[in-house]
Amino acid sequence: MYTDPARHRQPTARSVRECLTCESASAEATIGLGEQIGRLLQPGDIVLLKGPLGAGKTTFAQGLVRGLGALGPVTSPSFTLANEYRPAPGTGRPVVYHLDLYRISGADEAWQFGLEEYLDERAVCLVEWPERAADAFPLDHLDVIIQIASLTGDLGDLGDLNESDLVRNRIVGDEIVGNRRRLTLCAHGARSRDRLGAIRQALAMK
Ligand SMILES: Nc1ncnc2c1ncn2[C@@H]1O[C@H](COP(=O)(O)OP(=O)(O)OP(=O)(O)O)[C@@H](O)[C@H]1O
Ligand SMILES: [Mg+2]
């Protein structure tokens, strides 16, 4: 009797999620990294930017938008919830939406504000504070988790990548200390794994 071995295979953390870790010593380096990665993003990609206040989510998004060739500087969209960036004419690159859900209090409110409109297969969607609307996003997405170094410059051990631990972290009192950041990119789903593979290759070739 034929049995499909895949049926008996237990899902492992590795089969669900693949991660890549980068470090940055300055805001400029974070923008540069974002620019390299932004060049590789494709229409329909969703990038969820996670990390504490001041981690560098907007800074990294600024690089992504540059790499995507979209027009206009990225400013923190904190008061507008969503900013839209148009591609330069004739480039064939996607529209970029940059959302900040800090003031959203759940998936329901995110739907009311029109989240669905921004999760457009023809656009790239970058989201700060996605945790505010946790279940609202498609399963296939790229997480970017940004950690801030502690007073001693220690970035800590990522261990088994418990995200709720990662996003709390690494602020001494209320103060952000130093410029060192660790950016961990994790792919969830086939599309994001493809993208992470391309990113891994591009960064390795540098
Ligand atoms: N290595 C670094 N990468 C990114 N930003 C850095 C770095 N070092 C210092 N910074 C500074 O940290 C700040 C990051 O601010 P930014 O607005 O990008 O954070 P954020 O995560 O978007 O915060 P918020 O949750 O308030 O939206 C900026 O002032 C930036 O210049
Ligand atoms: Mg921000």
Q: What is the pLDDT of residues 117-154, one digit of tens each?
A: 999 999 999 999 999 998 899 999 999 999 987 645 55
> Ligand 1 atom closest to Cα of 26?
1
Q: Whose CA is nearest to atom 10 of ligand 1?
A: 27
- Measured in Å, residue 110 CA sits from the centre of ligand 1 at 24
- Look at residue 103 and give its three-state secondary structure: coil
What residue spans define the domains of the chain? Answer: 26-153+167-205
Q: Is the CB of 183 under 6 A from ligand 1?
A: no
What span, in angstroms and rounded, lies between the C-alpha atoms of 125 and 99? 8
**How confident is the model over 149-179, as pLDDT tens digits?**
764 555 554 444 444 444 444 444 445 557 8
Q: Enter the tokens of residue 92.
A: 């064939």
Tell me what pLDDT residue 149 has: 77
Tell me what pLDDT residue 196 has: 97
User: What single-letter DSSP state applies at residue 96?
Assistant: E
Query: What is the rounded average pLDDT of the residues 88-94?
Result: 90
Q: Is the CB of 101 under 6 A from ligand 1?
A: no
Residue 68 pLDDT exceeds 90: yes
Q: Is the CB of 170 under 6 A from ligand 1?
A: no
Q: Whose CA is nearest to atom 18 of ligand 1?
A: 56
Q: Is the separation of the CB atoms in 41 and 63 below 8 Å? A: no
**How confident is the model over 38-66, as pLDDT tens digits?**
999 999 999 999 998 889 999 999 999 99
User: What single-letter DSSP state applies at residue 56?
Assistant: S
Tell me what pLDDT residue 16 has: 54
- With left for phi above 0 and alpha for psi between -120 and 50, is residue 87 left, alpha or beta? beta
List beta partners, residue 177: none
Tell me what pLDDT residue 77 has: 55
Burial class (CB in 10 A: 0-12, 13-18, 19+), 119: middle
Q: Which CATH class is domain 26-153+167-205?
A: alpha beta
- Measured in Å, residue 26 CA sits from the centre of ligand 1 at 9
List beta partners, residue 187: 18, 142
Task: Record the pTM.
Answer: 0.84
